[in-house]
Chain A
Amino acid sequence: MQTTFLGKTLHTPLVLASGVLGNNKAILERVWENGCGLPTMKSIGPAPREGHKNPTVIDLGNGMINAVGLPSPGYLNMEEEWQELSGRAFPVNASIYGGSVDEFVRVAEFVSAQGPDFIELNISCPNSDKHGMIFGVNAQSSHEVVAAVKKVIHVPLIAKLTPAAPDIAGIAKACEDAGADAICAINTAGPGMVIDIESRCPVLAFKKGGLSGPMIKPIAVRCVYDIFRSVSIPIIGLGGISTGKDAIEIIMAGATLVGIGTAVRYRGINVFDKVNKEINDWLTAHDTTMEEIRGAAHREAL
């Protein structure tokens, strides 16, 4: 199911969501070998950051809540990883974050020079008070950070958005106007909270955390649907995608590529191969193609 995305050929239309597994070259490669067309690295930040204390990730059964807290060696401390990645046979999406436009620019400029295939701006993480989501909930600040980063990088720019934005379609349009080459939606929803009633404590050390997995899929589908109507750049649709039918659904909402994250928990690392097969089987059974169904939910009902 070879797919072309922003001029690059991907062996499948599936993307590994940022923050899931992507901590070294070997695991990114393994994910790619298991049917992921575009593995995404863990978000790279402006300085070394440990993330939050545990508990950071809890499986709620129908999805997860997490506040890992953007751990990163810091963009200047990753020579070993970039060196290993330089000889890679697979494409890589480098997710980055910052606490200000300047920090985003500094990280983006440096990372762009290390040769990733794409740069994804994480303006949507709910798990830090200073980074991420504060940009992505406002059209003006989203425009500002995308425009500034676009000037200093030499690879396509993907803006990753949060469903916490009051008008995600408006944010997407602002990103497109600022020069974004694609939109990735959605980051985790919420934030939410779970409290252990015996100890009377929020379970996550950061207290609140982003929701992911099957419980948020309808939010993701709605967001992609809204974004598709407001922009003409391609969309990576993700949020609770676990099966081929889930993927078909978000493609019908308008996604070009489909991201998978939490489903690794429920179906293993080979979830990518499984979903690819399920997409193919569905398309074959319905005698149709990815291109034909993309955005199909926007057309007049048959």
Chain B
Amino acid sequence: MITQLMPAMVKVADKEVHSPEFATLYVNQAIDFKPGQFVMVWIPGVDEKPYTISHHSPDRFGITVEAKGVFSKKAVCLGPGDKIGIRGPFGNGFNMGIDHKRVAVVAGGCGMAPLAPLVEAFQTDNGPEILLIQGARSKSFLLYPDRFTAKVEICTDDGSKGYKGFVTDILVQKIKDLSAACAPDFDMVYACGPEIMMAKVFDICEAHGIPCQVSLERYMRCGFGVCGACVCGHAVVCKDGPVFGSKALRTMADFNTRALLKTGKPVPLNEYATWRCQ
């Protein structure tokens, strides 16, 4: 059984290779889960890292890995029968609200992973109207094509698929379109992607009086709010987050400015990102 205590060693049941960079590892185990939560994934002898759950059903879940650093390059090479340790789930997850009529989900690159189960959870008969805005560097970095029944707007930095430009351009346009049509605004905007993108989404939402929730990333150790490795201003990302709403973002000192290295030293986000990709 997977819990927040000792890692449970489980077998990788299947692997889906999305592109040379991305793969999803599936585990045939039940896990009590809410969209936006994460698990700590341990490869003995290598390291342990936080991964969001990108696929979930009552008896199975998946994590999507992007080959970037030492751990993730090992992880994407795992296959059926390989064992990994899992503890969790941790964090708060997205607040899905109770009577949203219309929501926007804004995903940048691998930020699609935590948002995918959210989109699926909203895709019910009584669920809200969903607009998914998905962007990536180029076509091959767009995760899970054709996975959703929701309306999807695609964009890429290089124009290899969809609109050439940023997800935030599309979000602004859609808010304007709704306003021009005298239609009600989005009740909530959910976003995950590079922090600068999420900060832009937050600013756009603030300017239009729309509440939003974003999922942050920081270097983590314990996963349950004790060690302090992932603090972002006064917020403990692994425990108070990783999902933060507009109210928390307004007073979060280090949001879109600083993150801590493994030593605990605060550095600008671009320096942090360079280190994380090593």
Residues of A within 8 A of B (CB): 19-24, 26-27, 29-30, 42, 48-51, 53-61, 64, 66, 68, 71-74, 77-78, 80-81, 194, 196, 198-199, 201, 203, 205, 261-262, 264-265, 268-269
Per-residue A-contact encoding for B128-165, CB less than 8 Å = 1, 0 else:
00000000000000000000000000000000000000
- Specify which chain A residues have a CB less than 8 angstroms from the CB of B262 in the assembled complex: 50-51, 71
Complex Cα distance, B6 from A19, in Å, reads 21
Please measure, in the bound complex, the distance between the C-alpha atom of A282 and the C-alpha atom of B63, giving whole angstroms: 48
B228–A20 CB distance below 8 A: yes
**Closest chain A CB from B187 CB (angstroms):** 29
Interfacial chain B residues near A201, Cβ < 8 Å:
44-45
Distance of A157 from chain B, by nearest CB (Å): 23
CA distance A42 to B44 in the complex (A): 27
A42/B224 in contact, CB under 8 A: no
The answer on a CB contact under 8 Å between A80 and B266 is: yes
The docked-state distance in angstroms from the alpha carbon of A261 to that of B228 is 11
Q: Of A21, A55, A199, which one neighbours B231 at CB under 8 angstroms?
A: A21
- Give the A-B pair count, Cβ closer than 8 A: 128
A21 and B236 contact, Cβ closer than 8 Å, known pairs A54-B221, A58-B5: yes
Instruction: Find out whether the CB atom of B265 lies under 8 angstroms from the CB atom of A73.
Output: yes
Residues in B neighbouring A56, C-beta threshold 8 A:
221-222, 227
> Could you say which of B223, B224, B233, B265 has the most chain A C-beta atoms within 10 Å of its C-beta?
B265
Q: Are B231 and A23 in contact (CB under 8 A)?
A: yes
A45 to chain B, nearest CB (A): 9
Q: Known contacts A51-B262, A56-B227: does B236 contact A27 (CB below 8 Å)?
A: yes
Contacts of B44 in A (CB 8 A): 196, 199, 201
Chain B: number of interface residues, binned into ranges: 35 or more
B264 close to A59 (CB less than 8 A): no
Q: List 6 A-B contacts (CB under 8 A).
A: A24-B260, A26-B233, A27-B233, A58-B87, A66-B227, A203-B7
Q: From A20, A22, A80, A196, name the one whose CB has the most chain B CB atoms within 10 angstroms.
A: A196
Q: Are A81 and B266 in contact (CB under 8 A)?
A: yes
**A59 CA to B5 CA in the complex, in Å?**
5
Q: Find B228's partner among A27, A48, A55 (CB 8 Å cutoff).
A: A27
Q: Per-residue 0/1 for B220-252: is the Cβ within 8 Å of any A Cβ (1 yes, 0 no)? A: 011111111101011010000000000000000
A7 to B258, CA, bound (A): 36
Q: Report the minimal beta-carbon distance from B145 to chain A, rounded to whole angstroms.
A: 33
The answer, yes or no, to whether B278 is at the interface (CB within 8 Å) is no
Cα separation A71 to B260 with both chains bound (whole Å): 11
The 5 closest A-B pairs by CB, nearest first: A54-B48, A73-B265, A57-B222, A198-B9, A21-B228
Q: In the complex, how many angstroms separate the beta carbon of A75 from the nearest chain B beta carbon?
A: 12
Interface residues of B (CB under 8 A from A): 4-7, 9, 40, 42, 44-45, 47-49, 83, 85, 87, 221-229, 231, 233-234, 236, 253-254, 260-266
CB-CB under 8 A from A199, the residues of chain B are 9, 44, 83, 85
A55-B7 in contact given A23-B231, A24-B231, A201-B44 (Cβ < 8 Å): yes
Return B100 CB to nearest CB of chain A, in Å. Answer: 28
CA distance in complex: A90, B203 (Å): 32
In chain A, what residue has the closest Cβ to B70?
A53
Chain B residue at minimum C-beta to C-beta distance from A268: B225
Residues of A within 8 A of B87 (CB): 58
Contact B266 A194 (CB under 8 A): no
Partner of A27, one of B7, B49, B222, B231: B231
Q: How far is the CA of A262 from the CA of B228 in the complex (A)?
A: 12
Q: Shortest beta-carbon distance, A88 to chain B, in Å?
A: 13
**How many angstroms between the C-alpha atoms of A264 and B224 in the bound complex?**
9
> Which one of A21, A29, A42, A268 has the highest number of Cβ atoms from chain B below 10 Å of its Cβ?
A21
Q: Which of A54, A81, A198 contacts B49 (CB 8 A)?
A: A54
Closest to A51 in B: B262
Beyond the given A27-B234, A56-B227, A58-B7, please list 10 additional residue pairs across the A-B interface where CB-CB is below 8 A: A21-B225, A21-B228, A24-B266, A26-B234, A55-B42, A64-B222, A71-B229, A194-B6, A198-B83, A199-B9
A23 and B234 in contact (CB under 8 A), knowing A196-B85, A201-B45? no
> In whole angstroms, what is the CA distance A203 to B6 when docked?
8
Q: Is the CB of B227 within 8 A of A20?
A: yes
Q: Which residues of B contact A194 (CB under 8 A)?
A: 6
B7 pairs with A196, CB closer than 8 A: yes
- Once A196-B9, A199-B9 are accepted as A-B contacts, the answer to whether A265 and B263 lie under 8 Å apart by CB is no
